[in-house]
Amino acid sequence: MEQTQTPGRRLNILGKAARRKRIFARLREGWGYDEIAGEERLSAERIRQIVSEVLDKRVIDRGVDHAHLQLERLAPALRIVGEAIGRGELKAVAPLIKLIDRLDKHQVTVVAKYTYGPEERKRLLDKINRLRDNLEPRDDEPADGEPAVPADGGENNSAEIPV
């Protein structure tokens, strides 16, 4: 009589979550897909599918947020390497160069390299001019305790902002 493997019970949500945790813990420990598959009694292909599904579903930070996070992570390393160089340790030069390279890579993402085009510049200057006009008292409304006509004869001495 030939024995066939009967499929195991299907896992509920908690069982699947526990299996994913075990799989990723083993991956972090350096296990291969085949080894994990043997322990979990699944195929190596199914382990790859599970890992791929989890990685596809994760939320990835925006580029700027990720760059800020990486810069914060690199700050302590930069401080340590800087102290080593301050003590005269020449072995710290190579890690310093690598750190500076990483910092430059992430700094490019953080620093905004946006320049205003002519349309944006015109809109901004129009807005500034409207604000200036709104802040000036009108000729028919005297300001508190001031005469209706300014001392300079009513001329507007504010210069227009060039476009």
- Tell me the per-residue pLDDT of 18-42, one tens digit each, with 9 for 90 and over: 999 999 999 888 888 999 999 999 9
- Tell me the per-residue pLDDT of 122-157, one tens digit each, with 9 for 90 and over: 988 898 888 888 887 777 665 565 555 555 555 555
pTM score: 0.37
Residue 50 in contact with residue 23, Cβ under 8 Å?
yes
Residue 44 in contact with residue 37, Cβ under 8 Å?
yes
**Phi, psi angle pair for 56, to nearest 5°:** -70, -30
- What 3-state DSSP class applies to 127? helix
Q: What are the residue ranges spanned by the domains of the chain?
A: 13-57, 61-136
- Tell me the per-residue pLDDT of 74-124, one tens digit each, with 9 for 90 and over: 888 888 888 998 898 889 889 888 888 887 877 766 665 556 778 888 988
Band of residue 162 on the pLDDT scale cut at 50, 70, 90:
low
Residue 86 in contact with residue 118, Cβ under 8 Å?
no
Tokens describing residue 72: 């914060």
